[in-house]
Amino acid sequence: MIPTVLPTPCPKCGAAPREVDLSKLLKKENAGTAWVPSCECAEAIRKEQEAQDYLRYRTQLAALRFQKLGLGDPKKIGKGLPITTDMAWYHPNKAFAEGRHLIVSGNVGNGKTTTMLRVAWFLCMAGRRPRGGYIPTMVQKFRSEDGREHIEDVMDGDFLILDDMDKLRGTEYQMEVFSSIINHYDVNNRPILSTMNLLPNLLGKRLISNGVPADIAESLASRVRHRADFITAPGPDFRLQEER
Ligand SMILES: [Zn+2]
């Protein structure tokens, strides 16, 4: 990507732009992020400092939100699986605006969580507020006695993460709460990013075998698949699950 840098006169002091070292900008690590000072007057330098402080603040806030959900250190997210040009999430801002969902399926260690986290981190850095996380941990917190506040908090995100969706199980109450959360995100066009250890069309059956009531299981499965991009990790054992 070639950065588009237009040498304009300094908006602060009106001085003509100094020469820009394009070779620095064309370095891969600077792509799209390098800031080109048009001037070295005090105001221009202060403005640059401000922009850098703001970026640092945004990064810290995003990391805080990310880690609060137990998603780990965003700096350590790997590359994951390719998101191809035919997928809605190839244009993540647009996909977010359209409330598209994402399902990454595959075996443990095949990069499915990494892929989902990469999208989640992008959204966090864009200022979007994540909710959800690892399914068993998430569901455990839905309790009829003191879980109300937690449930309201889960409802309050801009997008929802369901890591290891196929591990969903719990009491009838927990499943009803979970179901109302999924419906809330889906009907309000807020993205649901899920990972699972099986092909998405088998999710309903798996949830039923986990003990989730059949009507809830089928409705959940169809909600997360609704408007979703599907990414399937290649893996040696993965296809065997079709026969189960
Ligand atoms: Zn200036």
| C-alpha 24 to ligand 1 mean position (Å) | 21
How far is it, in rounded angstroms, from Cα 2 to Cα 188?
A: 37
Nearest Cα residue to 34 out of 75, 5, 74: 5
| pTM of full prediction above 0.85 | no
| List of residues 6+ apart from 149 with CB closer than 8 A | none
Same domain, 127 and 204: yes
**What pLDDT does residue 97 have?**
97
Query: pLDDT (tens digit, 9 = 90+) per residue, 69-125?
Result: 999 999 999 888 999 999 999 999 999 999 999 999 998 878 899 999 999 999 999
Domain assignment present for residue 3? The answer is: no
Same domain, 35 and 133: no
**What pLDDT does residue 45 have?**
86
Domain assignment present for residue 4? The answer is: no
**What pLDDT does residue 244 have?**
41
Q: Which run of H or of E encompasses 159?
A: strand 159-163
Cβ count near 161 (within 10 Å) = 29
For 128, list phi and psi in degrees, rounded to 5.
-80, 145
Count of domains for the chain: 2
Beta-ladder partners of 103 = 194, 230
We report the CATH number of the domain holding residue 205 as 3.40.50.300
Query: pLDDT (tens digit, 9 = 90+) per residue, 230-241?
Result: 999 877 555 445
Domain assignment present for residue 39? The answer is: yes
Same domain, 111 and 214: yes
**DSSP 8-class letter at 16:** P
| C-alpha 7 to ligand 1 mean position (Å) | 13
Residues with C-beta atoms within 5 A of ion ligand 1: 10, 12-13, 15, 39, 41, 44
| C-alpha 10 to ligand 1 mean position (Å) | 5
Beta-ladder partners of 78 = none
| C-alpha 15 to ligand 1 mean position (Å) | 6
Same domain, 191 and 155: yes
Q: What is the span of the domain harbouring residue 139?
A: 74-243
**What pLDDT does residue 124 have?**
95
Taking residues 13-31, what's their average pLDDT? 65
Same domain, 149 and 197: yes
**What pLDDT does residue 28 have?**
58
